Amino acid sequence: MIEGKLRLILGITGASGVIYGVRLLEVLGREIETHLVISDMGAKILELELGLTLDDLLEHATSVYPNSDLTAPISSGSFQVEGMIIAPCSMKTVAMVANGIAENLIVRAADVTLKEERKLILIPRETPLGRIHLENLLKVVEAGGTILPASPAFYHAPKTIDDLVDFVVGKVLDLFGIEHNLYRRWDLPEQG
């Protein structure tokens, strides 16, 4: 779609599991043009869970926008991107995306991503899921989004939290066709 470097938007919201967004940014920032938006609560969770601040993420992002800036380039469909990832995605953000309530830049960019029929991937990190959560997630899927729960596999024999996180991050990369070796893919042992 776009000549040159792959271009993606990454939103980080205030759900637990901010490690998924940070790891995505680290991996994407190496080869991908990454446009980052972090919500106020996302920044708070970043500090609480990882002891990091937005300044710690700047080196990995191509551009960073305040969540309040609805004039940012990524708020327009004319800004060409392959897609958007929200990791982690709070249930508040899911509800706003599902219902078209674009009152902040993360949700506006997600809304634009859907209306332009680009790939939108939400990584919810909530359990258990109630009926309202499930209905909102379904609405996002029906609008063209993809729900990728933060549910790592165990067939690759993870040894660390990083192994678990890399599995989920690798699944996101797979959906965008980005090559990686973050986890061992499923393969049955040879039968003797």
171 annotated among ligand-binding-site residues: yes
Distance in angstroms (rounded) separating the CA atoms of residues 101 and 146: 18
- The amino acid that residue 99 corresponds to is N
16 annotated among ligand-binding-site residues: yes
Distance in angstroms (rounded) separating the CA atoms of residues 21 and 59: 14
129: alpha, beta or left? (left if phi > 0; alpha if psi -120 to 50): beta
Sign of CA dihedral 127, 133, 139, 140: negative
14 annotated among ligand-binding-site residues: yes
90 annotated among ligand-binding-site residues: yes
139 annotated among ligand-binding-site residues: no
Residue 180 carries which DSSP code? -
155 annotated among ligand-binding-site residues: yes
15 annotated among ligand-binding-site residues: yes
Q: Under DSSP, is residue 124 helix (H, G, I), strand (E, B) or coil?
A: strand
- Residues comprising the binding site for FMN? 14-16, 39, 90-93, 125
- Residues comprising the binding site for dimethylallyl phosphate? 155, 171
- Residues comprising the binding site? 14-16, 39, 90-93, 125, 155, 171
